[in-house]
Amino acid sequence: MLVISLGISLFQKADLGVGPYDYLALGLRDHLHFQYFACRIFTDSLCAIAAYLLGGLIGIGTLLCALCLGPVTQFFDRTVSSKVMPG
């Protein structure tokens, strides 16, 4: 999860465009003025709940990513990505 979060942080900071799913959290952050980690937890959890309701399996990895990907990505935004790619 650390590598995924670092990759997300660097990719978003590079401003080369993001996919629709990644933009959900960024759009909520920009329009509702919540912190990124809260928006990411909300969108990831909402998608996990939808998957479960549609018959998908939800394991510990899914829950871990849904609850931790946002905070860890925001940590890398502040500590690594902003120093590597100031902008």
pTM of the complete model: 0.86
Report whether 73 contacts 3 (CB < 8 A). no
Report whether 36 contacts 62 (CB < 8 A). no
Identify the pLDDT of residue 46: 95
pLDDT tens-digit series, residues 12-44: 898 888 889 889 999 999 999 999 999 999 999
Radius of gyration of the chain, Cα coordinates, nearest whole angstrom: 13
Identify the pLDDT of residue 87: 65
pLDDT tens-digit series, residues 38-68: 999 999 999 999 999 999 999 999 999 999 9
